[in-house]
């Protein structure tokens, strides 16, 4: 193997996974919002991280992350976290095992200790809210394709 910048980038992608960013979007109003689309096959999700970009309205509102396959039943990747009045900069970590979405106020960093990887099928990765609140989030995902041609894109 020739040591080039391209080779080093490819090795880093295999170790760290591919990164896709979802631009800031307002919270869905008591419904779901696709944040990523999975096409071409299964992918191993290594990290799924959200960030509040506009303060969330001060009223109860549970937010969760699900994998919604094209064929089959939706599965929680991270269950309900009340995002009531979360400040801009709050980080949202999906542990990817169906347990609660983890939130940390701005200025704090989440280590991902206890975080799992998960396999997602063709379909979408989405957020779901239980109320209509003002506020906005952005999301980042790191993944490794498991099938030839599999990829994740911003929805």
Q: What is the pLDDT along the chain (155 residues), one digit of tens a residue?
A: 567 777 777 676 667 899 999 999 999 999 999 999 999 999 999 999 999 999 999 999 999 999 999 999 999 999 999 999 999 999 999 999 998 898 888 877 666 555 689 999 999 999 999 999 999 999 999 999 999 999 999 99
Q: Which residues pair with 124 in a beta bridge?
A: 37, 68
- Is residue 41 within 8 Å of 148, Cβ to Cβ? yes
Q: Encoding tokens for residue 20?
A: 């896709």
pLDDT tens readout for residues 85-117: 999 999 999 999 998 898 888 877 666 555 689
Write down the residue that tokens 């960013």 correspond to.
21
What pLDDT is recorded for position 5? Answer: 78
What pLDDT was estimated at residue 149? 97
Given the structure tokens 């170790």, which residue do they identify? 15
Instruction: Kindly report the number of other CB atoms within 10 A of residue 37's CB atom.
Output: 16
User: What pLDDT shows up at residue 25?
Assistant: 97
Closest to 69 in 3D by CA, of 133, 122, 110, 112? 122
Per-residue confidence (pLDDT) for residue 112, from 0 to 100: 59
Q: How far apart are the first and last CA of the chain?
A: 36
pTM: 0.89
């Amino acid at each position: 193997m020739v040591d080039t910048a391209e080779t080093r980038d490819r090795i880093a992608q295999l170790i760290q996974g591919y990164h896709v960013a979802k631009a800031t979007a307002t919270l869905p109003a008591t419904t779901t919002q696709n944040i990523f689309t999975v096409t071409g096959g299964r992918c191993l999700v290594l990290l799924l991280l959200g960030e509040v970009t506009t303060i969330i309205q001060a009223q109860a509102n549970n937010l969760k992350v699900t994998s919604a396959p094209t064929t089959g039943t939706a599965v929680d990747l991270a269950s309900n976290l009340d995002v009531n009045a979360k400040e801009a900069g709050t980080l949202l970590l999906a542990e990817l095992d169906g347990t609660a979405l983890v939130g940390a106020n701005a200025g704090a960093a989440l280590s991902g200790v206890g975080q799992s990887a998960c396999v997602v099928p063709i379909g979408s990765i989405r957020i779901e809210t239980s109320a209509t609140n003002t506020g906005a989030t952005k999301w980042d995902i790191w993944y490794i394709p498991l099938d030839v041609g599999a990829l994740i894109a911003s929805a």
